[in-house]
Structures are given as C-alpha cells and as structure tokens.
Structure 1
C-alpha cells in the first residue's frame, strides 16, 4: 500500500512535464508544411514519384506506355521507396547542457528539436528510438509518448556527455545532439560504431550565445556546471582570442569527423529560432542538406 502514493506522485509529475514539451514540439513540427511524406528514393512501393526516360536494362513491365505515347521518348513510371527506416536519437543529458546565459538552456532546446524531429518522422511512418533509455526504434503515436517520457527523465550526473551508439539499426539513421564540449574521443568512438553498422546521420551542436561569443571581461570565475572544473582570472578579455580559436578548431574537428563517415554537422544557438534547425535536421536525415 505504501507504493500507491509514490506511484500517484510520479504520475502527477509526469503529467505536468509531458504536455509542455510535447505540445511545443508538435507545434514546432506543424509549422513545417511537408505534405505527404516522401522518401524520394526509387524502389518498391505504391506511391507514384516521377517519370524518367527509360534506360538500357529497364524491363518492358516498367515502361508506362500511356505516358510514352504522348512523346517520342519512352518513359518509366517510378514509385517511391516505402520501406520505413529506423532513426535513433541521442540527446546529451549531462550537466553542461543545463547552461544558459539567457533564454532556454541547451538541454531544453536539444529536447525540443529532438522531439519535434521525432514528430515529423513518426508522422511519415518511420521508426524512431532513443539510445541510452531502453527506447528502441518503433513507429506509431504511442512511441511519441515513450520518447517524451525518456527525454524528460532526470539528467545524468556527468559534467559532459558522450554519444551512445547502442541501439542504432544496421543501415539506419542516427542523430547526436550535444554541445560536444567534452572529450571528442567519445564522439569518435560512437561515429565509428555507427559507421560499422552502415548508419548515416547527423551531429547537431547546440551552444549558448555566451559560449559562442565569449562576452567576458575583467575578473571572472569560470566553473563547470558540475563544479569539477574552476578557473579564476582577473583579465577574462585576454582569453577571448584563444578561446575562439579553440572553439573554431573544435568545430572543424567535428566537421571532419562527420564527413569522414558520411554524416552531416552544424551548430545551432539557443538564442536563434528553432525552426531553421529543425528543417536542417529533417533534410539532413533524409539525405539532403
């Protein structure tokens, strides 16, 4: 009988946390007019995609004789590939993601973009999962609730996060969302594991404006969100050039790592509107930019 109040309290807490994030994600996703979801890859399916001129090797069954009769060219009627793909999300829950100089934290923006991406993919019939939370890729509306619960779970205790490549399906897609300010060895390992499974994906770096611009001067105390790192200086402005150089080097390294395995990389700032980042994410997952 003692477990009942605890269960009720957990349910009430979940009920308070689910609607805002889920509602915001669905609202953001609804601003993208995708129409009927199209994978834009030729293959076996029911949906018509396009006509193309017939090539050597095309069988007679593939030719659309009605369309070809209106032209001197023989045309093939292509259908879109209808097989659902699996997309695995990893969202950094480390303490570093809790930073905000103003506006939303990096964690809030990461969760919003990840969940809005899931909304779009699930509406298109894809399977979406979340690594590190025992939430394997599945389709359907119920999966959206599972993803929301996992994304609103308590944050991890680590200062910085490392991508978790477990659960990524062979030849599937993956999305890693983080500030990527920790040790890049973890990123390299996760990308290698994903690449070994033939997975393609996206690295989305989320930074606060203060982390991008370094607007500090005079006496400043820099401390990690977990308190494990601390540095005090009397002339913070003297560090700006070196900091910006190191940040640029880190971005270049992330870009190089992504390109080496056929992935995409970009940086999004919490002070910017989330819609352009969501559009980029969706197109990158689908294979465009």
Structure 2
C-alpha cells in the first residue's frame, strides 16, 4: 500500500500533468466532427438511414410517396436508431508503455507510448461524450455528461504503472453488449489478450484494439553492441550484433500482428496499429469509426 507521502507525490505529479493531457486531448478531439453514434439499424431516431421496399405491416402513412413515384414499387423511409452506447476504454499501464525512442535530434523527441495512448483514450472519450454516449475507463461504470470527461482525465493522469512490463485489461469489468477500446503495445504474452477478446465476444461485446508502438519498435534501427532489457529489467539480452537480429525481430512482430488481426476478425473486433511519430488524428478517427462498425 502506498504511503501518504507517495500518494501526495503522485497527486502533485498528476495535477501538473493534467492540464497538458486535457489540452492535447481537446485539440485532438476538435479535429474530428462529433456526432451521435447510431446503432446502424432501423428504429426511432431523427436521421435518415435507408429506403426499403414496403412490406406487410407497413401502413400508407409510412410510405415515402415521393421516392415511390420514381419506380413501380413502394418504399418506406427508415430512420436510424440512436441508442446511447456504453463504451469502456482501457489504456495499458505496463511499464513498457513508458518507452520512447530518442529520434535523430531535439525536434524529433517523441512522446512515450503511454502518453500517446492516454491522449487518444481521453480524446475518444470526449468525442463519445459529446455525442451522448456513456463512457468510462475499464473497471468503472460508464456514464454520460461533461463531468464524466473530467473524471476520466483525472483517472488517466493518476493512473499508476503496474509492477510488470505489460498488463491486460480486466475481464471482470466486461458487460454484455458494450463496446470496448484497448490501447497498448501488446508486446508481452499474447495469450491473456486473445483470451480476453474471446471472452468479450462470447458476451456480445464488440470493440477494437490499437497497438501503439514507438518507431524504434517498428523498424529496429539498432546496430553493433547493444544491451536490450525490459522496463523492469527482468528480461535482458546482450548482443554484439544488434543488426543481425533485425530480420528475426521484424518477422516476430509481423507474426504477432497477424495473430491479433485474425483473433480480432474472428471475434467481430478490429485490430489496428499506430506509431508515436505519426500524427494522432488518423488513429483517433480510426477508433471512432471502429465503434460504428
């Protein structure tokens, strides 16, 4: 259990980081046009969804006579159901998420994977809340409203790192028919993650997993003598020919991504990738769209 002094230090650090996190997320969310997420089915709503041929049970009042006049068939104008979704967002707190490559110069300094994932998670939450959805970080009950956005921002800023290099989302927080967004590097043991997605699918939970990596983890630019070790120091590998490991590393990364893509597809989920050297707007748009499909 953390001491009062440790908690005070964490709170002070979070208070310092919170404004920057919120500002970055607000700027990012502003790049995406907010709107309500329809569930893509006919029902009570305000927005047009589709025309369909009139059938048994459709009354004369429900016929769209203007559209029907252009053909020999009668059509009904369906509207789209707009029921608020309940969305859980999980941001990995594994110690490996604190990694950031150095780049080639001062202007190339990149955010850590954790910083980027937190900004993406908070920006997505802001967009969804503005659209009337219920949102929460995994493990908390989804709620609607602006105050919920403040709660999520504070929780992300206060989020402590776990003791391990990686972690997994809490399966006990899954609820039937919710949506889930997972943000992490997914470089650790893959079995808990694939088990989580399978369990979620069995409960009717759909979602998306976005792998957030540093560019150094994408291209493996290392050469010569290098000591590789995990954030906790529990895994170490000392080599005199790092360049000779590049092909094997990239092959393993491709295999991992192929496995997660297949796992997601089989569960009705989506899997995507993002590196911290690229603008986050495209990743946010991808996440936003994945919740609609």
TM-score, normalised via structure 1 length: 0.89
Could you say what secondary structure the match of 1:138 adopts? coil
Deviations 1:201-252 (A, max 9, x none): 1010011111110111111000111111111111111111111111111111
Matches within 5 A, 1:241-260: 241-260=247-266
> Do the aligned residues in 1 keep the contact of 2:194 with 2:260 (CA within 8 Å)?
no
**Counterpart position of 1:127:** 134
Instruction: Note if 1:210 corresponds to 2:216.
Output: yes
1:219–1:128: structure 2 CA closer, same or farther, 3 Å change rule? same
Alignment CA distance shift 1:67-1:5 (3 Å): farther
Classify the secondary structure of the residue corresponding to 1:39.
coil
Q: Which residue of 1 aligns with 2:152?
A: 147
Q: 1:191 to 1:38 in 2, by over 3 A?
A: closer
Cα shift at 1:55: 3.4
User: Please, which of 262, 267, 290 is the counterpart of residue 284 of structure 1?
Assistant: 290
Q: Deviations over 1:169-200 (max 9, x none)?
A: 31111111110000011102211221121011
Deviation (angstroms), 1:104: 0.4
**What are the ranges of 5 or more consecutive residues in structure 2 without an aligned counterpart?**
103-109
- 1:86 corresponds in structure 2 to 86
Determine if the alignment matches structure 1 residue 110 to structure 2 residue 111. Answer: no
Deviation of residue 163 (structure 1)? 2.4
Structure 1 residues 68-119: Cα deviation after superposition (integer angstroms, max 9, x where no partner)? 5754442312222121111111110010000000300000011111111111
Following the alignment from structure 1 to structure 2, what is the Cα–Cα distance between the partners of residues 186 and 11? 31
The Cα of 1:149 is off from its aligned counterpart by 1.5
1:137 & 1:15 partners in 2: Cα distance? 24
Q: Per the alignment, do residues 50 and 253 of structure 1 end up closer, same or farther by CA in structure 2, a change over 3 Å counting?
A: closer
Q: How many residues align?
A: 281
User: Deviations along 1:132-183, whole A, 9 cap, x unmatched?
Assistant: 4xx2111111111111122112222211112223323311111111100000
CA RMSD across the alignment: 2.3
Question: Which residue in 2 is equivalent to 1:96?
Answer: 96
* Cα deviation, residue 64, structure 1: 3.5
Which residue in the other structure is 2:38 paired with?
39
Change (3 A) 1:188 1:7: closer
Q: Per-residue deviation at 1:46?
A: 3.4
* Structure 1 residue matching 2:259: 3-state secondary structure: helix
Provide the rounded CA distance (Å) in 1 between the counterparts of 2:5 and 2:252.
51
**In structure 1, the residue corresponding to 2:78 is in which secondary structure?**
strand
Given that residues 131 and 165 in structure 1 are in contact (C-alpha distance below 8 angstroms), is that contact kept between their aligned partners in structure 2?
no
Unpaired runs of at least 5, structure 1? none
- Between 1:10-19 and 1:182-191, the stretch displaced more is 10-19
